Structure 1
Amino acid sequence: MTYDPAAANPLGTNPLATRSDMQRAVIDLFNPLLPYFSQGKARVRLDAAAAHFDRAAADLEGFARPLWGLAPFSAGGGHFAHWDRYADGIANGTDPNHPEYWGAVNGRDQRMVELAALGFALALVPEKIWDPLSPRARNNLAAYLLHARQFDYADNNWKFFRIFVDVALDRLGIEYDRSLTRQYLSELEGFYIADGWYRDGNVRRIDHYIPFAMHFYGLIYSRLIEDDYAKRYRERALAFAQDFRHWFGQDGATLPFGRSLTYRFACAGFWSALAFADLEALPWGEIKGLCLRHLRWWADKPMTHRDGVLSIGYGYPNLLMSENYNSAGSPYWAFKAFLPLAVGEGHPFWTTPETPPAALDEAVPLRHPGMVMMPCQGDVVALSSGQENRQMRFGSEKYAKFAYSTRYGFSVESDERAFAGGAFDSMLAFSDDGIHYRVRESNDEARLAGNGLYSKWSPWPDVVVETWLLPSAPWHVRVHRITTARELETAEGGFAIARRDFEADTLFSAPGAAHAIGAEDFSGICDLGSSVAREGLAQKAPPNTNLIAAKTLVPQLRATIPPGETILRCAVLAVRDTSAVSGEWTRPPAVPDIDALCALAGQGESVSAMDAPGRMP
């Protein structure tokens, strides 16, 4: 082979075990950007793909986002040889008369997001990017920041962005209206739920924005500012850590769930921020292990282009899974993981040996995100009900599947007119014409009872589905009670596993069951006595739909259901053990009783994500 995609990964030869390893990583990841700085150094343009905002804002994104890692690196004593580029770029980007001017903020604007990174760097290393500026350049920068902060920011984690600009203005001795800072600090409190959990706005979703945004920014604030808000942020992080650690498998993989997953190892940002804030929310060895194991998980993934630039995608370059606000510079929010570089080598984060990963021994219910975290032979499966995102592309796949896995990720669909060929992993799809389809997008009700989840949802106004999800590690059980006035075709999928070339995998389909055996993994789904007969299908999913593996196999059960009431029951198993076909696969869980399930639903508590006030329809 002339090109090995994984070999282009700058983390590939890095053991990522020590502070010096992490210092090397941030520079190795940054250096591929050097050829793409513009002549005036104010813009970094990485490819021709577009986001919904203008090109100047996208180029600013490529310029600013690496600062989340570069500023801590320098604050902790690391030598970064290109601060002159940033000083020149800031001077030119904020000069209205320069051809590389970033453009003025006028209303809610992507520039607001990127100015938070600039504010953070100005607060942390002003000697690198403020002191070298001429008086005129300083005036331009101050005017640019002051102009931007007068506008209303989005009603979510964006409110922290103005606060970070304000922290920088404080550090630089520039006067501004502090009432706006107090206003946003107060409004952010409205997103807090309980037990360390937030929403990212008044929406029915609780995703990685809670650790890598709400807590990340709050913990930085708590290090830079001493006030009552700082105390609250620290107390909440202590509580959140007890739950969030269950989102990580023993190999360091986190749960791919929700939007903005192209930020990749930003998912370690919460653990990194604990180090920066000097907050031992868990023993330091455990925090360090969670952070560094996650970085190591990425080291063999083909996550960059051949020049080492981070791609849009997750496990591999993939525009299909992206959001419309992802430009080519977006993935560099991953640099949030390098925040521990700001603390010295004598800090206990660095001096304490990593704690080996603690196994998740039993299912852990998490009421606020509406999840049951289930152990699966070192991996983690999250059964999920109660979240939604109906405003963004593939919101159903990112938020409303029945289960998400640290090992198998999830898939997005590539054709809304391909019911026969859809992946439908961890989903139940319906079609009334054999071409188009509907899946769960939102819930009318979602409850958690013990370790069981109940939800009620409608793919069409005249179709009602009640779904129960029950852990039985390493299996999980699903039961659906469907009421429809018309005949519908259905397809229900298990987990997607990697598919090999040359038809090297074993596929099995039969009435009531299907499974696939790949190079390392087994995935199967079996019927547990539905009221209609279902046929198994080992689906060769469309390429580039899964977040982790570019080609996948998904076992499915398919059936046509009549008008009236139908009960569908199944059990799902996916493990990294090809011998499971003669072992665990032969021992499916017991068939749950529908009356007992109805009683269970009545006993549960409402999932917190369902209670968002003022949500969009």
Structure 2
Amino acid sequence: MTYDPASANPLAGNPLETREDMSRALLDLFDPLLPYFLKGNARVRLDGAGAHFDRAAADLEGFARPLWGLAPLGAGKGDFAHWRRFAEGLANGTDPEHPEYWGTVNGRDQRMVELAALGFALALVPDKIWEPLSKRARANVIAYLKHARQFDYADNNWKFFRIFVDIALDRVGAEFDRSLTRQYLDELEGFYIGDGWYRDGNVRRVDHYIPFAMHFYGLIYSKLVDDDYAKRYRERAALFARDFRNWFAPDGATIPFGRSLTYRFACAGFWSALALADLEALPWGEIKHLCLQHLRWWKDKPMTNRDGILSIGFGYPNLLMSESYNSAGSPYWAFKAFLPLAIADDHPFWTAKEKAPAPSESVSPQRHPGMVVMRAGGDVVALSSGQENLQMRFGTEKYAKFAYSARYGFSVEADERSFAGGAFDSALAFSDNGLHYRVRETNAEAKLAGDVLYSRWSPFKDVSVETWLVPATPWHIRVHRINSPRPLQTAEGGFAIAKRDFDLDVLEAGPGSAHVIGDADFSGIVDLGSTVSRIGLAQKALPNTNLIVAKTLVPQLRGEIPAGETVLITAVLALDDPAAASGAWTTPPAAPDISALEARVTKDGITVSAIEAPGQMP
């Protein structure tokens, strides 16, 4: 029988409409893990690929992360036949004399991350994994948690991990220094920007970690603890929901942006956490729809290996896009989506009729992440300026492109010495030798003026670029003013769309434009009157560079710029309609006046919050 990647997806065929459907989805996703529990049940070892941390921590990750979904299932009285494994594994993993001991925390350590899931489970289902333990095992668990919490945690969402450990220690009656809990709660306050938005630490990074980490943990905290912090978390989540709903397309896809996208449907975790916290930030029917529709989007994606194990990757198995901290167990943070299983059948999340949120304005400027979110057909696109991440592999592609699409994702480059073969989707690349290239990595300045984004950046030390991003739905316009002391080659890309086998796609390229037509999509790029001429190219991108589909086509404009000042004006269109070639593509927007854009930013421009991270200089 021929292997069908999509049919190996445990969500395939599940309507994902009811509580029973969600329970089934969770168990179908968990069951493939069972053969990979080691004998003592403390470790789950999935494959031989490595992360930057040791194998014991990776095995703990495989053991602990499913608890983000299994603990809510248990709290909601759902049937689960393997609690004995988790009680036994907890006992053995914290026993220094057991062969499957997780290892001792002796500094900042990946184990700190995974202990948050254990803390969460101990708080939610102590009857499943605590009460069955012997006196000696309980003492070992408490000793392990208390030892780990004395070390310094990373200065970002990790601070919540110690708080969850502390909640668990409190629930099991242990004595510990509660002042450390208050210290981290206070320090987390420093990451709050306003209007419901956080940074993930004092860095220029405002990504999916805000909903599926900062708000996710805050909302769980508000369910487990009643204090002033809990009230703040709830108030902020209600504000955040108004913006975050605009990141989701009608088909349930969300804008993939930033790091850790292998956590996949953890992106629904914010909506799930609202349900657990009983916080009606939007009407319950809309929260339910945003949550379940996102899960449904994943049903036909080849996101697992042959045995149903979630792969590292996004739309398909793809180590290229991974982070150094992704082990084979990492993707199971996706189980954060299953928090609603903890709430009763008669909760309004379950009883409300699903309702798609009413279409908001076609353009949604969001100052804090530095985005202008716009709708184009069935897609949602975020024009973006002001973020950066130089610490992560492919951080440039994950944070500094001009646009990010829910339907077309983004691509990472496979070869930094292949200017000719680069995808450069939603990017402007420069090369001074035809081999190596530079794109936008950081911004010296980033401002939002109404629905126009402005940034100033340098691909080389002696080259400066000013970029204006302008929505013109369903198009968007990019204006680049470049000053260079030497000639440079340039390449600018539109959106990447799926490439069919047997060369069945339509590829058209000529002076000043290029477009590609696939099975279900159109993507094009056109020059609107630059000061130099550019030639179109229909680029067949290297395989496995795009997050959502393995093979793509990218329309590009390429050309040379002379020394001095050059202005490039570009319009980009991508639609889930091949007929756009004879429709929207035939009526591109007019080129904006650059002096009017300058005046607008000077008059109305406000600095993007993401770029104002403390301690960082432009």
Q: Return the TM-score normalized by structure 1.
A: 0.99
User: Is 1:275 the equivalent of 2:275?
Assistant: yes
> 1:607 is aligned with what amino acid?
V
Offset at residue 357 of structure 1 (A): 4.3
Offset at residue 360 of structure 1 (A): 4.0
Q: How does 1:331-410 map to 2 (within 5 A)?
A: 331-410=331-410
Q: How does 1:377-456 map to 2 (within 5 A)?
A: 377-456=377-456
Offset at residue 377 of structure 1 (A): 1.1
Q: What's the secondary structure of 2:501's corresponding residue?
A: coil
2:131 is aligned to 131
> 1:136 is aligned with what amino acid?
R
Deviations 1:483-523 (A, max 9, x none): 00011000000000000010000000000000000000000
1:253 is aligned to 253
Q: How does 1:66-145 map to 2 (within 5 A)?
A: 66-145=66-145
Offset at residue 616 of structure 1 (A): 8.2
Q: Is the 8 A contact 2:310 2:332 kept in 1?
A: yes
* 1-structure distance, mates of 2:616, 2:598: 28
Offset at residue 356 of structure 1 (A): 2.7
User: Is 1:220 the equivalent of 2:255?
Assistant: no
* 2-structure distance, mates of 1:300, 1:602: 47
* 1-structure distance, mates of 2:577, 2:360: 18
2:476 is aligned to 476
Q: Is the 8 A contact 2:191 2:199 kept in 1?
A: yes
Q: Is the 8 A contact 1:464 1:482 kept in 2?
A: yes
2:616 is aligned to 615
1:203 is aligned to 203
Q: Is the 8 A contact 1:359 1:378 kept in 2?
A: no
1:49 is aligned to 49
1:579 is aligned to 579
User: Is 1:157 the equivalent of 2:157?
Assistant: yes
Q: What's the secondary structure of 2:308's corresponding residue?
A: coil
> 1:168 is aligned with what amino acid?
A
Structure 1 stretches of 4+ moved >2 Å? 356-361
Q: What's the secondary structure of 1:557's corresponding residue?
A: strand
* 2-structure distance, mates of 1:99, 1:35: 19
Q: How does 1:474-553 map to 2 (within 5 A)?
A: 474-553=474-553
Q: Is the 8 A contact 2:497 2:554 kept in 1?
A: yes
* 2-structure distance, mates of 1:507, 1:55: 47
* 2-structure distance, mates of 1:52, 1:99: 22
* 2-structure distance, mates of 1:463, 1:580: 37
* 2-structure distance, mates of 1:597, 1:225: 49
Q: Is the 8 A contact 1:472 1:589 kept in 2?
A: yes
* 2-structure distance, mates of 1:576, 1:459: 32
Deviations 1:119-170 (A, max 9, x none): 0000000010000111110000000000000000000000000000000011
Q: Is the 8 A contact 1:360 1:374 kept in 2?
A: no
* 2-structure distance, mates of 1:517, 1:261: 27
Deviations 1:2-32 (A, max 9, x none): 1000000000010000000001011000000
1:606 is aligned to 607
* 1-structure distance, mates of 2:541, 2:377: 25
Q: What's the secondary structure of 1:68's corresponding residue?
A: helix
1:28 is aligned to 28
Q: Is the 8 A contact 2:52 2:324 kept in 1?
A: yes
Q: What's the secondary structure of 1:439's corresponding residue?
A: coil
* 1-structure distance, mates of 2:53, 2:383: 35
* 1-structure distance, mates of 2:213, 2:274: 13
Q: Is the 8 A contact 2:408 2:495 kept in 1?
A: yes
* 1-structure distance, mates of 2:361, 2:273: 27
* 2-structure distance, mates of 1:616, 1:231: 34
> 2:613 is aligned with what amino acid?
A
Q: Is the 8 A contact 2:378 2:576 kept in 1?
A: no
Offset at residue 465 of structure 1 (A): 0.2
Q: What's the secondary structure of 2:459's corresponding residue?
A: strand
Offset at residue 597 of structure 1 (A): 1.2
Q: Is the 8 A contact 2:290 2:356 kept in 1?
A: no
Q: What's the secondary structure of 2:305's corresponding residue?
A: coil
Offset at residue 358 of structure 1 (A): 2.9
Q: Is the 8 A contact 1:360 1:375 kept in 2?
A: no
* 2-structure distance, mates of 1:595, 1:163: 51
* 1-structure distance, mates of 2:221, 2:117: 13
Q: Is the 8 A contact 1:203 1:616 kept in 2?
A: no
- Stretch deviating more after TM superposition (595-604 or 412-421): 595-604
Q: What's the secondary structure of 1:460's corresponding residue?
A: coil
Q: What's the secondary structure of 1:304's corresponding residue?
A: coil
Q: Is the 8 A contact 1:250 1:358 kept in 2?
A: no
* 1-structure distance, mates of 2:473, 2:617: 36
Offset at residue 361 of structure 1 (A): 4.0
Offset at residue 600 of structure 1 (A): 1.8
Q: Is the 8 A contact 1:250 1:359 kept in 2?
A: no
* 2-structure distance, mates of 1:250, 1:511: 35
Structure 1: runs of 5+ lacking an equivalent: none
> 1:577 is aligned with what amino acid?
D
* 1-structure distance, mates of 2:581, 2:127: 62
2:193 is aligned to 193
Deviations 1:50-70 (A, max 9, x none): 000000000000000000000
* 1-structure distance, mates of 2:277, 2:88: 31
Q: Is the 8 A contact 2:364 2:373 kept in 1?
A: yes
Number of corresponding residues: 617
Change in CA separation of 1:325 and 1:616 when aligned onto 2, cut-off 3 Å: farther
Q: Return the TM-score normalized by structure 2.
A: 0.99
Q: Is the 8 A contact 1:360 1:378 kept in 2?
A: no
User: Is 1:556 the equivalent of 2:556?
Assistant: yes
Change in CA separation of 1:287 and 1:234 when aligned onto 2, cut-off 3 Å: same
* 2-structure distance, mates of 1:187, 1:211: 18
> 2:117 is aligned with what amino acid?
A
> 1:283 is aligned with what amino acid?
P
State the identity as a percent.
77
* 2-structure distance, mates of 1:350, 1:616: 48
